[in-house]
Structure 1
Amino acid sequence: MTILIKKMRTEAILPVRATVGSAGLDLCACLQKPLTIAPGDLVQVPTGIAAALPEGTVGLLCGRSGLGVKHGITLSNCVGVIDSDYRGELAVGLCNVGDKPYTLRPGERFAQLLVLPALTPALQEVQDLPPTQRGTSGFGSTGK
Structure 2
Amino acid sequence: MKPVVIRVKRLEGASAVPFPAYASEGASGMDVRAALREPVTLAPGQFKRIPTGLSVAVPPGFEVQIRARSGLALRHGIGMVNAPGTIDADYRGEIGIILINWGEQSFRVEPGDRIAQMVLARVYRAEWIESVSLDETPRGSGGFGHTGIE
Report the TM-score when normalising by structure 1: 0.95
Identical amino acids, percent of aligned pairs: 38
Query: Aligned ranges for residues 1-144 of structure 1 at < 5 Å?
Result: 1-9=4-12, 10-143=15-148, 144=150
Q: Judging by fraction of residues, say which structure has more strand.
A: 1
Q: Which segments of structure 1 move beyond 2 Å, counting only runs of 4 or more? A: 9-13, 139-144
Matched residue pairs, number? 144
* Aligned counterparts of 2:128 and 2:16: Cα–Cα separation in 1: 44
* Aligned counterparts of 1:125 and 1:41: Cα–Cα separation in 2: 43
Encode CA deviations 1:49-91: one digit per residue, 9 max, x unaligned: 0111121111110010010010011001121011111111100
- Considering only aligned residues, what root-mean-square deviation do their CA atoms show, in Å? 1.1
For structure 1, which segment, 72-81 or 3-12, has the greater mean C-alpha deviation from structure 2 after superposition? 3-12
Contact persistence 1:13–1:30 (CA under 8 A): no
* Aligned counterparts of 2:139 and 2:112: Cα–Cα separation in 1: 48
The answer for unaligned runs of 5 or more in structure 1 is: none
Q: Secondary structure at the match of 1:121?
A: coil
The answer for unaligned runs of 5 or more in structure 2 is: none
* Aligned counterparts of 1:21 and 1:45: Cα–Cα separation in 2: 27
Report the TM-score when normalising by structure 2: 0.91
